[in-house]
């Protein structure tokens, strides 16, 4: 039986405006072009997992949408990538989630999410979908659905024998009971600093070692700090590994972290050792930043394999 991944999380329609510079508080800036893309951290991870897994990994999504045109569009985008959306249910209580994204000339962004139906995904809904988890290998979570639901779903995934990967985004304080259910926590540097109550700063791989160690002591089995163009730093309670990034030209960093998590889950579900999984995830994320849009930027397996060829430098123990 092929390995499978379950994603519990959000689906959003992304409204993206390109600007020269992100607006400061109280400032009006003129944008250039406007585009709509299927997004949402959960859906992005599901879509990228399906594209990267190809025919060898099954992907199922659990989430909530409204009864509207965006819901149809988002489900169609996932289905086209090969994601099973039979556990994405509609609610009449709210509209489908949306995200407003300003994208600057350097490819950096600023995002505001109106959660809508994503906020209606209850712990009881996930419990009712317990059969979806059976036989799967990895479960992916983010924080765009209610925290209580995430905690209950993490526990349920463990009960069903899955390994859990939590992307703590958007960042918020996390209870110890929730962190104890996490096998791999994958903050970016900002989220890592926030979770540890440290002031914001650019983080070097050396400094990321301290962040990963501090976070691992809060409960997760392992921590991978995503460092953007500096790659990532992993700590499993025994050793630190730094895996460098691939040099690419940046067009849009939206969903790079989601694509990284998808690459990590696909490689691990296929049985790759951690070093290779980190490299694979870095390659997938690197390709995603070279083009615009969230799900639209997720690479195919063939593209990642091509970037990999001749660049098999392993993660370094530090
Ligand atoms: O991680 C990127 C995603 O964050 C976007 O697609 C947007 O929907 C927000 O959820």
Query: What pLDDT does 279 receive?
Result: 96
What is the number of domains present in the chain?
1
What is the residue with the minimal CA distance to atom 1 of ligand 1?
255
Whether 68 is catalytic is no
Ligand 1 center to residue 285 CA distance, Å? Answer: 14
22 located within any domain: no
Ligand 1 center to residue 237 CA distance, Å? Answer: 30
Q: Is 16 exposed, middle or buried (0-12, 13-18, 19+ CB in 10 A)?
A: buried
Q: Which stretches in the chain have pLDDT values below 70?
A: 310-318
DSSP one-letter code for 2 = -
The distance of Cα 315 from the centroid of its chain, to the nearest Å, equals: 21
Q: Which ligand 1 atom sits closest to the C-alpha of 258?
A: 1
Query: What pLDDT does 294 receive?
Result: 97
Q: Which ligand 1 atom sits closest to the C-alpha of 12?
A: 8
Ligand 1 center to residue 288 CA distance, Å? Answer: 13
201: helix, coil or strand?
coil
203 located within any domain: yes
Q: Is 226 in the pocket of ligand 1 (CB under 6 A)?
A: no
Residues 6 or more apart whose CB falls under 8 angstroms from that of 203 comprise: 189, 192, 193, 211, 225, 227
CATH, residue 143: 3.40.1190.20
Q: Is 99 in the pocket of ligand 1 (CB under 6 A)?
A: yes
Range of the domain at 201: 4-10+40-96+117-317
Q: pTM of the full predicted structure?
A: 0.95
Query: What pLDDT does 202 receive?
Result: 85
What is the residue with the minimal CA distance to atom 10 of ligand 1?
40
What is the residue with the minimal CA distance to atom 2 of ligand 1?
255
Query: What pLDDT does 162 receive?
Result: 98
108 located within any domain: no
DSSP calls for 161-189: T-EEEE---S-----HHHHTT-SEE--BH
239 located within any domain: yes
Ligand 1 center to residue 50 CA distance, Å? Answer: 17
């Amino acid at each position: 039986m092929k390995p499978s991944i379950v994603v519990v999380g959000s689906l959003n329609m992304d409204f993206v405006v390109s600007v020269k510079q992100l607006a400061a508080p109280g400032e009006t800036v003129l944008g250039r072009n406007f585009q709509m893309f299927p997004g949402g951290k959960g859906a992005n991870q599901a879509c990228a997992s399906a594209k990267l897994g190809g025919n060898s990994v099954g992907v199922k999504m659990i989430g909530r949408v409204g009864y509207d045109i965006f819901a149809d569009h988002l489900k169609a985008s996932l289905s086209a990538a090969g994601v099973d959306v039979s556990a994405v249910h509609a609610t009449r209580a709210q509209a489908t989630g949306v995200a407003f994204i300003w994208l600057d000339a350097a490819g950096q962004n600023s995002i505001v999410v109106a959660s809508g139906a994503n906020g209606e995904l209850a712990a009881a809904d996930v419990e009712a979908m317990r059969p979806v988890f059976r036989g799967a290998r990895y479960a992916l979570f983010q924080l765009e659905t209610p925290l209580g639901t995430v905690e209950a779903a993490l526990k349920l995934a463990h009960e069903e024998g899955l390994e859990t990967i939590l992307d703590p985004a958007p960042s918020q304080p996390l209870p110890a009971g929730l962190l104890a259910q996490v096998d791999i926590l994958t903050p970016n540097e900002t989220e890592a600093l926030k979770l540890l109550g440290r002031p914001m700063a650019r983080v070097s791989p050396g400094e990321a070692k301290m962040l990963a160690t501090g976070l691992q002591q809060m409960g997760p089995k392992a921590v991978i700090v995503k460092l953007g163009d500096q790659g990532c730093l992993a700590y499993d309670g025994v050793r630190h590994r730094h895996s460098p990034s691939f040099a690419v030209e940046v067009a849009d960093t939206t969903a790079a972290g989601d694509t990284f998590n998808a690459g990590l889950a696909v490689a691990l579900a296929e049985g790759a050792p951690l070093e290779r999984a980190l490299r694979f995830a870095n390659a997938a994320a690197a390709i995603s930043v070279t083009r615009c849009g969230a799900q639209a930027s997720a690479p195919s397996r063939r593209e990642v394999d091509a970037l990999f060829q001749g660049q098999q430098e392993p993660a370094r123990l530090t």
